[in-house]
Amino acid sequence: MDLASVMDEVSGRLDTIAGLRCYPYPVATVTPPAAVVSYPDTYTYDATYGRGMDRMSLPVVLVVGKVSDRAARDTLGAYCDGSGTKSVKQVLEGGTYTAFDSLRVESIEFDVVSIAGVDYMAGVFTVDIAGSGA
């Protein structure tokens, strides 16, 4: 797998969600709602013999607005849903990709992230990706 291509394709697929700004790498500033495909937490080689398969755990940070804003909660909720047009899980797992073979949205954790000195409510999705090791 080529890491840049994987991050590009994941971001490109998220970009099909109406109104969501998507970035295939960590950017300096964002305007919410925005999805930032960050660098893998882990990139595991040799899942099979002979460089057959590699796997990575890719974080997608979804920034929605102020922590104390009720609208931010409602917005983030739609992205966290297991199904629906804004569901990150449904949209990502429904995509067709060439940079890798398999994608599963494993989980989401909620956090406050600081970008360019501004605190945002965010959902950090963990995406499990598997593809060719060659």
Partner 1 sequence: MSFQHGKSTVILVSGNNLSAFTNTSSFTRGADEHDVTTYGKDDHVVAGGLGAGSFTMGGTYDNAASGSPRAVLEPLIGAVVALVRRPEGTGSGKPQQAFNGLLKSYVETSPVADMVTWSAEFTKSDAVTRTTQ
Per CB under 8 A, the list member of 86, 121, 130, 131 interacting with partner 1 is 130
Distance, CA of 85 to chain centre: 16
Please report, as a single letter, which amino acid is at residue 48: T
Shortest distance in whole angstroms from residue 132 CB to partner 1? 8
Rounded distance between C-alpha atoms, residue 71 and residue 60, angstroms: 21
Residue 66, φ and ψ in degrees, nearest 5: -65, 145
52 touching partner 1, by CB under 8 A: yes
With CB under 8 A as the contact rule, which of the stretches 33-41, 51-59, 70-78, 92-100 interacts with partner 1?
51-59
Backbone dihedral region of 91: left (phi > 0), alpha (psi from -120 to 50 degrees) or beta?
alpha
47 touching partner 1, by CB under 8 A: yes
Shortest distance in whole angstroms from residue 78 CB to partner 1? 24
Which of 41, 38, 13 is closest to 24 using CA atoms?
Answer: 38
92 touching partner 1, by CB under 8 A: no
Rounded distance between C-alpha atoms, residue 124 and residue 42, angstroms: 15
Of 49 and 98, the one with the shorter C-beta distance to partner 1 is 49
Of 47 and 71, the one with the shorter C-beta distance to partner 1 is 47
Per CB under 8 A, the list member of 39, 102, 110, 118 interacting with partner 1 is 102
